[in-house]
Structure 1
């Protein structure tokens, strides 16, 4: 069974971690920095980000800061983000932002037909800085 990854933007990562671990049987996978945590429950990986924390919490080009509720999305991992974005752009897909390069990899948000965000993510290769 493969793992499904979902990212939620939350106001308080500590409170969210407590909630998901205490009430919903999630386990902490990692807490590498303030404002971010990765949790696991069976085949669901839940990434928690505070606004402004890490690449996923960065302000959009129009100045909008991600916030709970409107920025929740699932993540699809791709091998070559630039090539994927180029292909999707040619197919008329709309994007919220440009590619963001963070410590964990590169990401971009696209819009589904209803305007919901989907994150495309290319992980950083181990050993690269």
Structure 2
């Protein structure tokens, strides 16, 4: 039973749906929203090549001094929307070591056109994974940024026209 609940939660997060709360569990009003992960990057220009040139994101906001700079990326360019924050810290004697471990696996992003995204990634010098079919008509592709952060890119199923 627990496996089914976890599977339903994963499907709901990918599909953008919500899971109704149990009848006996109070459902408080939402009081926040996701802004996005803040990722240390070793080379901002190289990271921007992946996120902007490859994934098609836009720089929504840059802030902080050049020595401790943050670049906020979103798909529409509006910094009030969820996105990804690139962190650059040049104050340390050595750049922070970016270690990928088993506590964090990947970030999942909705993408309009996986084939076009794969072409942009290749043109930017990256090697995207194979596009493959997933459940319920969805298609997925994996991609890894220059610092090893993994992304599952999901193209939503095409809606069938109603008669």
Which one has a bigger Cα radius of gyration?
A: 2
More strand by share: 1
Scaled by the length of structure 2, the TM-score of the pair is 0.37
